[in-house]
Structure 1
Amino acid sequence: MRLLPWTGTDGKACYLSTDDPGSLLSRLADDVEASQLASAETVLAGARAVLHDGKSGERAVRFALTRAVESLGDVLRIAVSRGERIPGRDT
């Protein structure tokens, strides 16, 4: 079972049951993960810039933190998903 990089409409985790990493849904999940990781890099750079700017106001800091929290959630989901797919991993 693969934890997908998105949740259902109810906010619950979505899983994919397939042995084919080349399936259409597996490739879509890979593409979404790649996009989320690229976005996280951009968010991290922006958050660093806000934090290094002593003139950043509360709104800018709150915005940067909100985006960083969202990105961290995505990255953690990806890490868990990939960790669960490591061959020989104890379940």
Structure 2
Amino acid sequence: MTAHDELRLLPWAGRDGKPCYLSTDNPGGYVSRLADHIEAFQLGLAYQLLEHSSQVLDDETKDPEELNLLATQLASALRDVLRVATSRGRCQVAPGRS
């Protein structure tokens, strides 16, 4: 997934929310495979949440607490998807925003 001598942004944060990076020559190693699995899970969860959000937003009887929860979950999923995109080199994120 990463070129030689290139760091891979991992799909989880380290201490104090700082980004974690992996440096390896083995894209099939344990941490690389774990990161691939977590990224796939995050992308799948974002897709499911997007589908669910359509149902919630179409229902005019939803209370503000449920809408707030939905917004919080969508923001979290978007953060994960942006991290995956950045890791895969398909998205440039402003410094300090990973």
* Shorter-chain TM-score above 0.5: yes
Larger helix proportion, structure 1 or 2? 1
Equivalent residue, structure 1, for 2:3: none
State the identity as a percent.
49
Equivalent residue, structure 2, for 1:11: 17
Equivalent residue, structure 2, for 1:87: none
C-alpha displacement of 1:62: 0.6
- The number of aligned residues is 84
Q: For the aligned residues, what is the CA RMSD? A: 1.1
Distance 1:59 1:10 in 2: 28
| Structure 2 segments unaligned to the other structure (5+ residues) | 1-6, 91-98
Distance 1:25 1:10 in 2: 21
Secondary structure of 2:40 counterpart: helix
C-alpha displacement of 1:38: 0.9
Distance 1:4 1:56 in 2: 36
Structure-2-length-normalised TM-score? 0.82
C-alpha displacement of 1:48: 1.4
Equivalent residue, structure 2, for 1:32: 38
Secondary structure of 1:59 counterpart: helix
Segments of 4+ moved more than 2 angstroms: none
Alignment of 1:1-91 (within 5 A): 1-83=7-89
Structure-1-length-normalised TM-score? 0.87
Distance 1:9 1:47 in 2: 31
Secondary structure of 1:55 counterpart: coil
| Structure 1 segments unaligned to the other structure (5+ residues) | 85-91
Secondary structure of 2:62 counterpart: coil
Question: Aligned AA for 1:15?
Answer: Y
